[in-house]
Amino acid sequence: SRADHVRIVEVGPRDGLQNERQTIPLATKVELVERLARTGLTTIEAGSFVSPKWVPQMANSAEILEHVLTRTPQSPHPITYQWLLPNVKGFDNFLAMWKAKAQSGQDAYPTPPPSPGTDNGPALNTSSADPNAMPSSSSGAEAMGKARGASTAPIHELSIFTAATESFTQKNTNCSIAESLKRFEPIMAKAKEMNLNVRAYISVALGCPYEGPDVDPHKVAELAISLLEMGADEISVADTTGMGTAPRTLELLKTLNAAGIDKSDLALHFHDTYGQALVNSVVALEHGIRTFDAAVGGLGGCPFSPGATGNVATEDLVHCFHSLGASTGVDLEQLSEVGEWISQELGRANDSRAGKATLAQ
C-alpha cells in the first residue's frame, strides 16, 4: 500500500569498502558513516570484526566503533549501527572496544536502556525485532529527539554470516555450514544476555560463484529457520553474486513463506552484478518485504566471490521505492551527494544512476 515504510540498511561502509584494494584512511571511513547518518538512514553497517589477514581493509573497524561510541554522530533520530563478525574472536574484539569506551562513566549494559532522546552513551537495542514496527517507533523517537532538541544515542547490533552452499562457506569463513552455526551459538547466547540484536546473513541464496546459479531455495529456508530458532532477530537473504532474477527471487520468497518464515523477519540483500538488483528489489517489495540492504554509490563486493560487483545503489533503491509510494525517510539529494563524494574519494566511477541524475538536475 502507498503508506508503507521501507527500512534501508546501508551497508556501504562495510560491504562497500571491504573489497577496495588500496587502504582507505580511517578518517574517510568515519566521515562516510557520519555523512550517511545525516541523510535520514536509520541503520548503517559500519564495519566488521573479521580476520585482518582475510580482509585487510576492515582491520581498523574497532576504531570506527570507538568513534561511534565516543563521538555520537548528530542525527535527529536514533541510528542503529551493525557490526559484522564471523566468530567469538570477532565478538570479543567488538566487546573489548565496547567495554573500554562504555566504562568511562557510562553504563555498558543499561537495563532498561536509555530512552531515545537522551544522550548518555552507548545504548543497546531494545527495539522490536519486527522491522514493520519501525515507522511508529522511529517516528516516536524522532518526535522526542526534536522536542528535546538533542541528538539521540545510537543503538548497536551484531551481524553474523553463513551461506547456503558448502563451497562458499569454506571460501568465506574456512568452515562448513554446520560449523558456522556452531560458532554462532556462544555469540548468540552472549548477545541475548546483553540485549543486543543479531541479524544473520545467508550468502549465495540466489547463486554461488563455485556451485552455480541453482542454489536450492529449501536449503536457504532450512538455514533461515535454524538461525531464527537460535535467536536471530532478522535474516538477510543475500544474492552475493547478483545471479538472482525476478522469477527466482519470487520462487525463493515463496519457498521461505511456505516454510513458515515471517516476511517481517526477512531483509533482502541484492548485489547488482547482472543489473537485476532493482528489479529483484521490486519483486521482494511487492511480495511484502520491508527491509532492504543497499550501498551508497553502488559500492561493494565480496572478496570471496570473484567478479561480484557492488550492492544495489542506495540512491537507486530510494528513488525507485519513493516512486512506488513507499517512504524511506531518506533525503535523496543529500544521499546522492554522499555517493558522489565517496566515489571521488575512492577514485572510482559513481555507480548510482539515480544519484548522478539527481545531482545533474
Q: Which is nearer to Mg ion, 32 or 144 (CB)?
A: 32
Nearest approach in angstroms of CB 239 to ligand HMG is: 7
Query: Would you say 204 and 166 are in contact if contact means Cβ atoms under 8 Å apart?
Result: no
Counting contacts by CB under 5 A, is residue 157 touching Mg ion?
no
Q: Which does 18 bind (CB under 5 to 8 A by kind): ligand HMG, Mg ion, none?
A: ligand HMG
Residues in the chain: 361
Residue 128 has a CB neighbour count (10 Å cut-off) of 14
Q: Which is nearer to ligand HMG, 123 or 299 (CB)?
A: 299
Give the CB-nearest residue to Mg ion: 15
Nearest approach in angstroms of CB 271 to ligand HMG is: 6
Query: Would you say 322 and 332 are in contact if contact means Cβ atoms under 8 Å apart?
Result: yes
Question: How many angstroms separate the CA atoms of 140 and 290, rounded?
Answer: 19
Q: Which is nearer to ligand HMG, 87 or 245 (CB)?
A: 87
Counting contacts by CB under 5 A, is residue 15 touching Mg ion?
yes
Q: Establish whether 320 is a catalytic residue.
A: no
- DSSP states of 255-324: HHHHTT--GGGEEEEEB-TTS-HHHHHHHHHHHT--EEEEBGGG----TTSTT--PBPBHHHHHHHHHHT
Nearest approach in angstroms of CB 116 to ligand HMG is: 28
Catalytic residue among 175, 208, 302, 320: 302
Q: Which is nearer to ligand HMG, 54 or 109 (CB)?
A: 54
Find, among 260, 177, 169, 268, the residue nearest to 209 by Cα: 169
Nearest approach in angstroms of CB 242 to Mg ion is: 10
| Torsion 282-47-228-212 (CA) sign | positive
Task: Find the Cα–Cα–Cα–Cα dihedral 168, 237, 32, 125, rounded to 10°.
Answer: -120
Question: How many angstroms separate the CA atoms of 338 and 111, rounded?
Answer: 36
Provide CB contacts within 8 A for 163, sequence distance 6+: 169, 172, 177, 180, 202, 203, 204, 208, 240
Q: Which does 87 bind (CB under 5 to 8 A by kind): ligand HMG, Mg ion, none?
A: ligand HMG
Q: Which does 161 bind (CB under 5 to 8 A by kind): ligand HMG, Mg ion, none?
A: ligand HMG
Q: Which is nearer to Mg ion, 187 or 204 (CB)?
A: 204
Q: Which is nearer to ligand HMG, 144 or 200 (CB)?
A: 200
Provide CB contacts within 8 A for 344, sequence distance 6+: none
Residues binding ligand HMG (CB under 6 A):
15, 18, 48-52, 54-55, 85-87, 89-90, 93, 161, 172-174, 201, 203, 238, 240, 269, 271, 302, 304
Counting contacts by CB under 5 A, is residue 272 touching Mg ion?
no
Nearest approach in angstroms of CB 360 to ligand HMG is: 30
Question: How many angstroms separate the CA atoms of 282 and 129, rounded?
Answer: 23
The 8-class DSSP code of residue 16 comes to I
Q: Which does 173 bind (CB under 5 to 8 A by kind): Mg ion, ligand HMG, none?
A: ligand HMG
Q: Which residues bind Mg ion (CB under 5 A)?
A: 15
Which residues are tagged catalytic?
302
